[in-house]
Amino acid sequence: MYPAELVKPMREDLTNVGFEELQTAEAVDAALAKEGTTLVVVNSVCGCAAANARPGAKMSLENAKKPDNIATVFAGVDREAVDKARAHMIPFPPSSPCMALFKNGELVHMLERHHIEGRPAELIAENLMDAYNAHC
């Protein structure tokens, strides 16, 4: 587990733009039970989360169509919430960072770490925007 003071600015990078922080399994289930679309970002302390994932997720929200709900869990910190979120992402293997778009609780789009690592934030945002245009 990472110290709270270390991850605070990384959490705030998403929560400051409206992402709901989910810290329990119950909170994850409640977020995914909401009607409409929900983007879940599995946040991380790694460099690709800082350089690619978080900026890409934030840029994607500039699209005309966007998810009804946006949420985040933090790998290495909120174990119960991350495990529950990943259970909803099956058949994809656990990875962080990653991003999943759900529609009425059903997984409809997934960006795994290998889709994020080494790719510019703009490309990640474009991928998410395409998913929003198809599902939101």
Known catalytic residue: 136? no
Q: Name residues whose C-beta falls within 8 Å of residue 24's C-beta, 6 or more positions apart in sequence.
A: 78, 80, 81, 84
Q: Write out the DSSP string of 57-70.
A: HHHHTTSSS--SEE
Of 7, 14, 28, 46, which one is the catalytic site residue?
A: 46
- For the question of residue 48 being annotated catalytic, the response is yes
Cα torsion angle, 132, 31, 10, 2, sign: negative
Task: Give me the catalytic one of 32, 48, 75, 89.
Answer: 48
The residues assigned a catalytic role are 46, 48
